[in-house]
Structure 1
Amino acid sequence: MTGLEALREAVLTCVADDLTTTAIPRVDLYRVSQPIALPPAIYPPFVSLILQGEKRLQVGNQSIRYCAGESFTALCDLPATGEITDASEASPYLAARLTLDFAAIRDLLQQMPATDFSGTSHGIAVHKVEDALADAWLRMVRLLAKPDELRVMAPLVEREILFRLLQGPQGGLLRQAAAVNGHFTNIRKVLLWLRTHYATACRMEELAAIAGMSLSAFHRGFRASTGLSPLQYQKQLRLYAARKTLARHPGNVATVAADVGYQSLTQFTREYTRLFGLPPARSLRLFRQNGTDSRR
């Protein structure tokens, strides 16, 4: 049995359907038994391994498919929609995800020899899972059955997973992402600012200054990192926040639109419908009927 096959069996035995937030920090496991549309979400920087089935993510204008035996790396907070396209009771979709700790990556890099790598400005990538990485993940998942060992061993195994990632095909990408004054770090400063100030009108010159980049370099770098322009990214943050508010605290649509920064209810309705497939008023009715955000 290969490491990937053993990892698949280990995940099958320890998770029920849907997302399982494990006792190990930053580690999540997934098991889905039917094709589903995923709720819009802002994904943190992460590496995900698909062990069985197939998933599609829509990030800006990019449609990304990855399947069993592949890993997906995202280096910035990404607003995304998607779907599990291949899953069944007999053969459920299975995946493991590690949210990236860039401080831990930087600490590890200090103890590794410098390595030449081809430069890239893209913040997302798909690669084949190598055996050494699957083996490290297998040891991580097996720790869930050993709570007396987990606290001591999980940080060590996470460190090995990061090491294997740095040694693998995504290593150059991760090295750039962890650079203190690097391209991705500068863009993430802007993303953090936008996450807090999404309802505030902003000038591109201000955002470029936060990144410490020229305006033209900032525009190019932002789109390459996120798949969106800065204004598109801010728009999606506003719409995601509006959807969350409508789902958790149903209220007046016009008030919600104004709270997330829209001055025109017509524009809000048009852009909300384009992104989510339903007008906000209908979403609100569904949320009130269901009492929760139900993946619709």
Structure 2
Amino acid sequence: MKNLLASLSGIIGRHALGNGIVDTAISGVSLIRADAPTTPMPVVYRPTLCLVAQGRKQVVLNTSTYVYDAEQYLLASVELPLIGSVIEASAARPYLCLRIDLDLAQLSELALRHAMPVDQDELSPGGIALTGTTPELLGATVRLAALLDTPGDIEALAPLIMREILYRLLTGPGNRTVRHMAQGNSRLNQVARAILWIREHYTQACKIDEVADIACMSRSSFHVHFKAITSMSPLEFRTQLRLHEARRLMLAEAVDAASAGFRVGYESPSQFSRDYAQMFGTPPARDVARLRVA
């Protein structure tokens, strides 16, 4: 494991020269580097595998905190609004991470070939899972990243190695979440359809019965499984999406607080300010001023 991590760190270090996220020539693969701890910032995770080669990161989902490093990989099974920050990094030993967007169609096809039953009556797995990194998964990831040094091999070999990585996730320890992702009729995928609808309509009123119908679930069952996966209710989920986008508007587009609140669906500036302060700890204007300094 130590030699594999050193190899992965070297590859990421060569191809991610600046801080931030670097897209690569391999479809669905990006590299992340940070030379110092970062300010907690909102981000929406898609179905993703994050494998750290060096350093440590923290993500917060509602009231749950997940800390991961080279010993554990992070798997996001649905689109989730998170607060992420690098908590261990330095110029001498930067945070280095490889991120893979998961191909759910290919995952489902592999699951059919390597069948394992999924109990539909059990509670859905959480949308974020941390699992111990195995030598088999890490070895495949290193071989995938190494293709960046030989770009002429990417077209022929990357799909094969990506398939192996999905296989390792399906058959390795902690594969319960991945198996649910691969089953089109699983409760997790039913909730994922509802999440997609909420993300596309978060500025509008959220009628629970309508969203439950989209998930093809009863209202009571939908609430139970939605909270198990996202750790929040559908309305809380919508509120977090609104506040994340409002924060982005104020930071990236210099929109004032009242306008940002209105654009994400709030009718009352005071309600927007209360919700914002409850989530981020300070009122909107003060929070954005702090982030700009940081």
The two structures share one fold, judged by TM-score above 0.5: yes
Q: 2:259 aligns with which of 247, 255, 265?
A: 255
Q: Equivalents in 2 of 1:12, 1:233: separation in Å?
A: 36
> Cα RMSD (Å) of the superposition?
2.0
What is the alpha-carbon distance in structure 1 between the residues aligned to residue 88 and residue 288 of structure 2?
Answer: 30
Return structure 1 stretches of 4+ with deviation > 4 angstroms.
116-120, 283-287
2:229 equivalent to 1:225:
yes
Residue 14 of structure 2: aligned partner:
13
Partner amino acid, structure 1, of 2:116: T
1:213 pairs, out of 188, 211, 217, with: 217
Query: CA shift at 1:250, angstroms?
Result: 2.6
Q: What is the one-letter code of the residue matched to 1:46?
A: T
More divergent stretch after superposition (219-228 vs 250-259): 250-259
The number of residues matched between the two structures is 289
Deviation at 1:120, TM superposition (A): 5.3
Q: Which residue of 1 aligns with 2:185?
A: 181
Tell me by how many angstroms 1:283 deviates. 5.2
Determine the structure 1 residue equivalent to 2:83: 81
CA-CA distance at 1:234 after TM superposition: 0.1
Other structure's SS at 2:97 match: strand
2:65 is the alignment partner of 1:60? no
Q: Secondary structure at the match of 1:36?
A: coil
- Aligned residue for 1:110, secondary structure, equals helix
Gaps of 5+ in 1: none
The residue number in structure 2 matching 1:148 is 152
Q: Deviations over 1:269-289 (max 9, x none)?
A: 1212232344223456678xx
What SS does the aligned partner of 1:217 have?
helix
CA contact (8 A) 1:7 1:135 kept: no
Where does residue 27 of structure 1 map in the other structure?
29
Partner of 2:4: 3
Q: TM-score, normalised by structure 1?
A: 0.91
CA distance in 2, matches of 1:203, 1:61: 24
Amino acid at match of 2:266: Y
Contact 1:42 1:80 in 2 (8 A): yes
1:37 aligned partner, one-letter code: T
User: Residue type of the partner of 1:264?
Assistant: S
Note if contact 1:30-1:94 (Cα within 8 Å) is conserved in structure 2: yes
Residues 1:37 and 2:43 aligned together: no
How far apart, CA to CA, are the structure 2 residues paired with 1:259 and 1:116? 44
